[in-house]
Structure 1
């Protein structure tokens, strides 16, 4: 029997299993609800209670059935077991529903990032909105904006306090549109470049080429906001871009593939901002940009909604597991 990671499972099938596992059953099957015990055995509190009877030196410590049989467990009568199991099972079903919904929406987004933006060597997308037929302009990124650096000349003592903030690396990496709350304190420094609404941030280094050059657009207007030192900024000139269009364009498959080609390194990969500025991008008129940008904005909002519901359900399940068992 393996006690690590809640290594207990309930079988609803008849068959055989590996000798690496111990199989046990109740003396009186009719008096116990198997689903209730499945939840009980997987509770962290129960797993932790087994530490005193486990043996082995690896992470997956083992426990003998004779030792397991001596562990005392408090449990309710069959009817209460049944109600607890039904409640938790309904929550699990709902969690799975929202997980599938999030996965489906993510796949839809991935497909549309391919369809609504031009593919490699193309100058127009496969799918376009009705009444839009104008040619898309092709420009190098460096022709439509200027770069700037993140924080420089700082030590660890400069962070964690102060009236200014900096945009974190994980904010840039994780979000096509920067999360205005994913910032951390730093002292005000007039020598540093403040970020502005519409700025684009790029990560410059990562452990894999697939994660280099991830981009994020900043829509905040607060003063004294800087960029972290592991990213560089790009400021578009004029009003050529809808910020949401630009955010999702730079996360499209075509641009991401180009970024991966630029990544250099062995154990850690880096990207040159000068090479990024030489990337070709495609630009429709501003009205078509707004259509595309608004669509992906709403799609991301829908994904975020299901993710929040999913997180609340997981928190509810955690609360019930802590409070419905002794």
Structure 2
């Protein structure tokens, strides 16, 4: 006897119970796309070849594209995908699925599970959203094999059970989530656009090598910028070497800035009052590093990373009367002369400056840069502290906008996740 139930949240006008069905009773064909070596048939321009890399989070992306020649494409004719078919990743990030849109009708695919020839009226986008629920993900996980590389079988998916209402209700639910996804996509585009604007402006608002003024500049400023060696502008402070295990999450005698947080968590400007920092508990550390208590305007450089992000830094801001120390694998610097808040943080993280560090980096798996190597790098800055301030304020405002869109995007994704659990 079929199990029946209803979701927690439902559109008005629908009251019938949902039915639990096996996918083999819904689709006439559930099987694998071509499995084997296809690389001999790859061409620079040809037929788009759909692979698992193109299927993520319920959508088809074109982040990477493979093309196949006419001969191989025609050989796959019996397995061509058509509008409305569903494909699912069977190796790697298993369970991720997508619906074939109109523009990909007659597409050949590689190593995907294909759901074709429905036996009854079914809304494919409804099933695609059901696969995104935690319940469906757990069920797929239960039939997944393999340790290093996860794998699911088409035969197991034939027995996979889904909860389905009448087709009319499926279409309403699918339409709702499609509109929700569109809203998320709009925010993602805006967020990405702002990130690209920032990246571009970090290149154009600081002079490139050999230039005395930047490509883009605030009106009213015409003087050439200064160029000095880092050793003539910044003095090195002492960092502590306490490991994560030596630090506390609760109250202590001083806050500690760890290199990992500089690399991943913090931005160009670190507002001490807006970030949670690990604490140092040992009071003897305070005496040892008393001359290195950080101040607003100091810059902390991460001197170790697993890639070329080594050299990323954060400028200290918002510090009141707290004791803050620079931690393991960091180089803390203090400007000898007065700089406007934010200028050094954004300049030292720009590609204009960071490109100087790339040839100085050492190591293969773990990359590092030394204080001595950084000493002779060039720092370029406007003489006017007012101009420095305008640059810092501009990037701060841009970061604020980026953060707002990032939060809104996360909020929308969380709402979608909640609704997926309550509407299925």
Write the distance in 2 (CA, Å) between the matches of 1:186 and 1:155.
10
Residue 220 (structure 2) pairs with residue 131 (structure 1): yes
Residue 316 (structure 2) pairs with residue 227 (structure 1): no
Q: Deviations over 1:66-119 (max 9, x none)?
A: x43333322222333223222221221111111111211122112211211010
Write the distance in 2 (CA, Å) between the matches of 1:7 and 1:303.
29
Return the offset for 1:58: 5.5
Q: CA contact under 8 A between 1:171 and 1:182: conserved in structure 2?
A: no
Residue 108 (structure 2) pairs with residue 17 (structure 1): yes
Structure 1 residues not aligned, in runs of 5+: none
Write the distance in 2 (CA, Å) between the matches of 1:7 and 1:141.
49
Return the offset for 1:45: 1.9
Equivalences, count: 320
Question: Secondary structure at the residue paired with 2:236?
Answer: strand
Structure 2 residues not aligned, in runs of 5+: 1-31, 33-88
TM-score (norm. length: structure 2)? 0.70
Residue 301 (structure 2) pairs with residue 207 (structure 1): no
Q: Deviations over 1:272-325 (max 9, x none)?
A: 112223222112111111111111111111111111111111111111112111
Q: Which of these residues, 117, 138, 141, is aligned with residue 48 of structure 1?
A: 138
Residue 346 (structure 2) pairs with residue 248 (structure 1): yes
Q: CA contact under 8 A between 1:6 and 1:44: conserved in structure 2?
A: no
> Which residue number in structure 1 is paired with residue 355 of structure 2?
257
Q: Which of these residues, 117, 123, 127, is aligned with residue 37 of structure 1?
A: 127
> Between Structure 1 and Structure 2, which shows a larger proportion of strand residues?
2
Return the offset for 1:232: 1.3
Residue 231 (structure 2) pairs with residue 170 (structure 1): no
Q: CA contact under 8 A between 2:208 and 2:214: conserved in structure 1?
A: yes
Compared with structure 1, are the counterparts of its residues 221 and 11 closer, same or farther at alpha carbon in structure 2 (3 Å cutoff)? same
Compared with structure 1, are the counterparts of its residues 18 and 116 closer, same or farther at alpha carbon in structure 2 (3 Å cutoff)? closer
Q: Which of these residues, 393, 399, 403, is aligned with residue 300 of structure 1?
A: 399
Q: CA contact under 8 A between 2:246 and 2:280: conserved in structure 1?
A: no
Question: Secondary structure at the residue paired with 1:213?
Answer: coil
> Between Structure 1 and Structure 2, which shows a larger proportion of helix residues?
1
Residue 421 (structure 2) pairs with residue 322 (structure 1): yes
Write the distance in 2 (CA, Å) between the matches of 1:176 and 1:119.
20
Greater shift after overlay, 218-227 or 179-188? 179-188
Write the distance in 2 (CA, Å) between the matches of 1:266 and 1:147.
26
